[in-house]
């Protein structure tokens, strides 16, 4: 890049994606400038990051930690704010070029909307934002001339496959799934799997929410919906294939039948870096893929009988309206309750199915409808658990 550095805001800088983004930035200090860092609860890490990267502003969303962060950064010339509202307003600062949204779950929706309204390009790691309100987000982005660069590895792969092909019709995309730690297991065997077992992903090192989602295949379901909105596809143009080695990160089949794939070792830093530097590619020292170490790459159909979340996601996509929002909210509650060992592994899916059956359908939801749907679904889900 010539001239000015790219000025980045990272929402959720203390999480898995946020910390890896800062590793990328650390390797390219002449290319990036950190403008804003935000965290939900992890005040200590936020303080350490602020001292190292000297952002203009930090936000600690949990106001209980405000004094601590404020005092720790008194001598560092860093502005400190607290609370959800601060999060929504700092993303609109003039001095930001790109907002990396690495918040977990539904909480990413409002700040992402605010950033798009202010005309900021988005590096999107928070897939739930598109799952919940893909129609609103993508139409607002079009209206504001904002680009949304995917950080999710599968969507980054698809994006990398279509660079230079933007005018060419896509026949379908093939999202790859690792299958998670329980690939090959049947429902009977899934009944009693534990939190610890579900948190052990075979290939990817990620945050707790997405790791559990990977174990239930809900992550792939959310990614199907995310892909629909990012690439303007219909449900029948999205195929999921299980690829246990996680080397092919996803594929695009064009109208002439040609398939392009993007490959590499599973390392989130690559899609994070590409989203932050597109259209450029910067050097990296990430480990390189060696074909001789992978004599076979294998593929199989997903087992949607044992892992019903994938089928439920296609159903939510098919019904449209607020159904993906219901699916997401029910799933967020389910994962939370599973992580605190209050519901079992299969009950997570039951909860999602129950909520989808019970919530009122809204065909063309407004933002308020989405907020309301999210709230009511959470209440309903908690009632089902009791
Ligand atoms: Mg992914």
Per residue in 66-102, pLDDT (tens digit) is 999 999 999 999 999 999 999 999 999 999 999 999 9
Q: Measured in angstroms, how far is the CA atom of residue 140 from the centroid of ligand 1?
A: 24
Cα-based distances in Å from 279 to 227, 288, 298, 372: 20, 21, 31, 38
**DSSP conformational letter for 2:** -
User: Is the separation of the CB atoms in 219 and 128 below 8 Å?
Assistant: no
Distance 72 CA to ligand 1 centre (A): 35
The predicted model gives 52-65 an average pLDDT of: 98
DSSP, collapsed to helix, strand or coil, labels residue 209 as helix
How much distance in Å is there from the Cα of 4 to the middle of ligand 1? 31
**Cα(204) to centroid(ligand 1), Å:** 9
Within the chain, which residue ranges are assigned CATH 3.40.50.720? 6-150
- Round to whole Å and give the CA distance between 161 and 154: 11
Helix (H) or strand (E) holding 170: strand 170-177
Instruction: Give me the pLDDT at residue 3, please.
Output: 66
Q: What phi-psi label fits residue 54: left (phi over 0), alpha (psi between -120 and 50 degrees) or beta?
A: left
> How many angstroms separate the alpha carbon of residue 180 from the centre of ligand 1?
12
Which residue shows structure tokens 């982005």? 141
Question: Is residue 104 pLDDT above 90, yes or no?
Answer: no
- The Cα–Cα gap between 379 and 79 comes to 37
Residue 155 alpha carbon to ligand 1 centre in Å? 7
How far is the centre of ligand 1, averaged over its atoms, from the C-alpha of 154 (Å)?
5
Does residue 279 have a cis peptide bond before it, meaning omega lies within 30 degrees of 0? Answer: yes
The pLDDT value recorded for residue 257 is: 98
d(CA 275, CA 265): 17
Centre of ligand 1 to C-alpha 45, Å, is 25
Average pLDDT, integer, range 16-33: 97
Ligand 1: centre distance to CA 211 (Å): 10
Give percent of the chain above pLDDT 90: 96
Closest alpha carbon to 351 in 319, 327, 323: 327
CA of 294 from ligand 1 middle (Å) equals: 21
Given the candidates 3.20.10.10, 3.40.50.720, 3.90.190.20, 3.40.50.1970, the CATH classification of the domain at 6-150 is 3.40.50.720
Tell me how far the alpha carbon of residue 213 lies from the centroid of ligand 1, in angstroms.
Answer: 10
Overall average pLDDT of the 40-53 stretch: 98
**H or E stretch at 6:** strand 6-11
Q: Please check the confidence at residue 256 and state whether its pLDDT lies above 90.
A: yes
Residue intervals in the chain for CATH 1.10.1740.10: 320-386
- Rounded CA gap, 227 and 131, in Å? 9
Q: How far is the CA of 162 from the centre of ligand 1 (A)?
A: 18
Axis crossing angle, helix 153-162 with helix 269-277, rounded to the nearest 10: 50
Higher pLDDT, 207 or 62: 62
Q: How far is the CA of 63 from the centre of ligand 1 (A)?
A: 31
- pLDDT tens for 224-246 read 999 999 999 999 999 999 999 99
Cα of 66 vs centre of ligand 1, distance in Å, is 33
**Residue range 320-386 in CATH 3.50.30.30:** no
Residue 138, pLDDT > 80, answer yes
Ligand 1 centroid to residue 223 C-alpha, Å: 7
The DSSP result for 267-319, as a single string, is -THHHHHHHHHTT------PPPP-GGG-S----B---TTT-HHHHHHHHHHHH
Which H or E run contains 242? strand 238-242
- Centroid of ligand 1 to alpha carbon of 241 (angstroms): 13
Residues with CB under 5 A from ligand 1 (ion): 152-154
Are 104 and 207 contacting, i.e. CB atoms less than 8 angstroms apart?
A: yes
The average pLDDT across 346-355 equals 98
The rounded Å distance from CA 266 to ligand 1 centre is 10
How many angstroms separate the alpha carbon of residue 127 from the centre of ligand 1?
Answer: 9
CA–centroid distance, residue 329 to ligand 1 (Å): 19
The dihedrals phi and psi of 83, each to the nearest 5 degrees, come to: 100, 160
Q: How far, in Å, from the CA of 253 to the mean position of ligand 1?
A: 19
């Amino acid at each position: 890049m010539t001239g000015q550095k790219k000025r980045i805001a990272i929402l959720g800088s203390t999480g898995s994606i946020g910390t890896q983004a800062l590793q990328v930035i650390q390797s390219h200090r002449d290319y990036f400038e950190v403008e804003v860092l935000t965290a939900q609860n992890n005040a200590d890490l936020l303080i350490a990051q602020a001292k190292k990267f000297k952002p203009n502003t930090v936000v600690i969303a949990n106001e209980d930690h405000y004094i601590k962060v404020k005092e720790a950064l008194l001598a560092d010339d860093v502005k400190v704010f607290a609370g959800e509202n601060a999060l929504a307003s700092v993303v609109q600062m003039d001095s930001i070029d790109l907002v990396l949204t690495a918040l977990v779950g539904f909480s990413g929706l409002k700040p992402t909307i605010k950033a798009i309204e202010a005309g900021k390009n988005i590096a999107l790691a928070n897939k739930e934002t598109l799952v919940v309100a893909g129609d609103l987000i993508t139409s607002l982005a079009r209206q504001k001339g904002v680009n949304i660069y995917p950080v999710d590895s599968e969507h980054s792969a698809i994006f990398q496959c279509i660079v230079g092909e933007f005018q060419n019709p896509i026949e379908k995309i093939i999202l790859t799934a690792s299958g998670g730690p329980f690939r090959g297991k049947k429902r009977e065997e899934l009944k009693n799997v534990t939190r610890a077992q579900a948190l052990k992903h075979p290939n990817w090192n990620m945050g707790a929410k997405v790791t559990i989602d990977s174990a239930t295949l809900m992550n792939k379901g959310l990614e199907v919906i995310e892909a629909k909105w990012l690439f303007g596809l219909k449900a029948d143009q999205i195929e999921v294939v299980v690829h246990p080695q996680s080397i092919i990160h996803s594929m695009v089949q064009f109208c002439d039948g040609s398939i392009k794939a993007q490959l590499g070792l599973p390392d989130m830093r690559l899609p994070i870096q590409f989203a932050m530097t597109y259209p450029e590619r910067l050097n990296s020292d990430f480990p390189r893929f060696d074909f001789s170490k992978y004599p076979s790459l294998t593929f199989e159909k997903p087992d949607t009988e044992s892992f019903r979340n994938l089928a439920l996601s296609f159903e939510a996509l098919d019904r449209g309206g607020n159904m993906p929002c219901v699916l997401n909210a029910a799933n967020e509650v389910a994962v939370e309750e599973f992580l605190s060992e209050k519901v079992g592994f299969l009950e997570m899916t039951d909860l999602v199915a129950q909520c989808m059956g019970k919530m009122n359908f809204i065909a063309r939801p407004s933002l308020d409808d989405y907020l309301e749907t999210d709230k009511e679904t959470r209440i309903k889900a908690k009632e089902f658990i009791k």
